Structure formats: structure tokens, C-alpha cells
Amino acid sequence: MSAQAPASRAIDVRDLHKSFGDHEVLKGIDFHVDTAEVVCVIGPSGSGKSTLLRCANMLERPTSGTVLVEGIDMTDPETDLDEVRSRIGMVFQQFNLFPHLTVLRNLTLAQQRAKGRGRAEAEQCARDNLDKVGLADREGAYPAQLSGGQQQRVAIARALSMEPDMMMFDEPTSALDPELVGDVLAVMRQLANEGMTMMVVTHEMGFAREVGDKLVFMDDGVIVEEGDPRAVLSNPQHERTQAFLSKVL
């Protein structure tokens, strides 16, 4: 099969279509993220950004097309999805922390259940990552006792605790009060500097401009324009990109 991707390709999506009923949400997407690259995805509400992200780790099953993660065909029924997913950290707009578990347990649960780590090793890794997001002192708290910004940093630390090869963010700061956005972006910035492969759906144009290696503009289920973030943001080629940017900038 010609779908064998170069090893440097973390995510490789080809001719991806996704319909909900007779509503076609993704209309043939070709998209890739290279290793150590930060790709930001922008676009109006309902354009299919989340659906593309969710198809990449099969939370949503594509209607047709191929999704390769590190060369592994995710649409192949033989693929061990759980194993591949454990290599893709995912951060949601609504945090989705486990409310019945402490912060520490949020971080150790999947390490033990999915990676087969022992408790001591899992806690060590969890504490390292809590430290990294600046929340080492909150390991005993429950999610409801934290601010939104803290919860999202815990969610990032939870994903990092699986020691993933790449991270996917779906509007990680959209549910936060403005004054809490900075802390979360700072953590993401640090990750990018460390060379993490990242796919980020965001409305934070500043982040996309400064941190992104590539910017992708989606509208109505297709990729309209992509390229260097600075170039796309300051000199959009496409009429739809111009119209969108004039509204958000």
C-alpha cells in the first residue's frame, strides 16, 4: 500500500471525509503534522476543526479516507487503537478531568490501567509532570477545587504522564476566564520549545503566530489555506481567510 508514510510524519490524513447522517462535515481533508512540528488549526465555528482532530485518534470514525499515526493505519480494524491512542495526548476544551479522583489519581489512572505501570512509578511520573505545569502542591485536590486554568494544566499533565509522542489540543483556552489563559498558553509554549509534536485547534492568533510552525485555515469542511503562520495571518491569500481574519483579529 502506498500509504506507508515517512517516519518523520506524526499524523498523516488523506482524503478524509466525515458525515453525520447526510451532513458532510469534512469534505476531503489532506493534512499532516511532522515530528516536532507545531500545527495550529483555525477556522469559524462548525468548520470541522474538532471533527478533524477527533478523527485523528478515532474518537470519531471517518466515513472514508486514511488516517496514519506514525505510519499506523488507524482505520485498519486490526490496529490496536488503545495502544496508539496512549501515544497521542489529548486536551479538551472542557478539561474532562475525572471529578471523582484526586489530581494525582487523575494522572496515575491511565498509566496503571493502560501502560501497566506500577503505582510508585506512575506517581513519580505524575509528580514530575505536575511540577512541570506548576501544580506540584495540588496533587491531593479534587478537580472541582481548582480554577479552570489549573484544571486545564492538570489535564495537560495527565496527557503528558502517558509520555506521548504528540499532543492534540482542542481549543484548550476557550472555556477559561481571560486572566487564566496565559498560564495554560505558557505551558503549551514550553512544550513546543521542548520539541513536542503538537496539533492545536485554537482561536489564540498570538500563540499561532509565535509558536506555530504551520497554520491551517479550515472553512466548511475543507482546508482553504495553509502555510507559515506569519504569512497566512498577515497576508492571507484566500478571500474566505481574509474575511475570517478580519473578524477575529
Ligand X SMILES: Nc1ncnc2c1ncn2[C@@H]1O[C@H](COP(=O)(O)OP(=O)(O)OP(=O)(O)O)[C@@H](O)[C@H]1O
In the bound state with Mg ion, the residue whose beta carbon lies nearer, of 49 and 138, is 49
Please tell me the distance from the alpha carbon of residue 173 to that of residue 147, in angstroms, as a whole number: 13
Closest to 202 (Cα-Cα) out of 190, 187, 185: 185
Contact window for another protein (CB under 8 A) among 16-24, 37-45, 98-106, 216-224: 98-106
> 45 contacts which partner out of Mg ion, ligand X, another protein, none, CB within 5 to 8 A by kind?
ligand X
Please tell me the distance from the alpha carbon of residue 148 to that of residue 138, in angstroms, as a whole number: 14
Contact window for another protein (CB under 8 A) among 32-40, 62-70, 108-116, 228-236: 108-116
- Smallest separation, CB 197 to another protein (Å): 16
- Smallest separation, CB 72 to another protein (Å): 14
Please tell me the distance from the alpha carbon of residue 81 to that of residue 7, in angstroms, as a whole number: 19
Q: Does 51 help bind ligand X (rule: CB under 6 A)? A: yes
Number of residues forming the site for another protein (CB under 8 A): 25
Q: Does 247 help bind ligand X (rule: CB under 6 A)? A: no
In the bound state with another protein, the residue whose beta carbon lies nearer, of 41 and 224, is 41
In the bound state with another protein, the residue whose beta carbon lies nearer, of 95 and 217, is 95
In the bound state with ligand X, the residue whose beta carbon lies nearer, of 4 and 64, is 64
Q: Does 241 help bind ligand X (rule: CB under 6 A)? A: no
Binding test (CB under 8 A) with another protein, winner from 85, 153, 214, 240: 85
- Smallest separation, CB 6 to another protein (Å): 25
H/E element holding 28?
strand 23-34
Reduced to 3 states (helix: H, G, I; strand: E, B; else coil), residue 99 is: coil
Q: Does 163 help bind another protein (rule: CB under 8 A)? A: no
User: What angle, rounded to 10 degrees, do the helices at 178-193 and 148-160 form?
Assistant: 20
Q: Does 130 help bind another protein (rule: CB under 8 A)? A: no
Closest to 193 (Cα-Cα) out of 185, 203, 201: 185
Contact window for ligand X (CB under 6 A) among 45-53, 97-105, 131-139, 182-190: 45-53
Binding string, 63-82, against another protein, x = CB under 8 A? -------------------x
- Smallest separation, CB 139 to ligand X (Å): 31
Closest to 214 (Cα-Cα) out of 230, 234, 191: 230
Please tell me the distance from the alpha carbon of residue 93 to that of residue 91, in angstroms, as a whole number: 7
Please tell me the distance from the alpha carbon of residue 163 to that of residue 84, in angstroms, as a whole number: 12
Residues 100, 168, 191, 43, Cα dihedral to 10°: -120
Cβ neighbours for 186, distance < 8 A, ≥ 6 positions apart: none
> Which residues bind to ligand X, rule: CB under 6 A?
20, 25, 43, 45-51
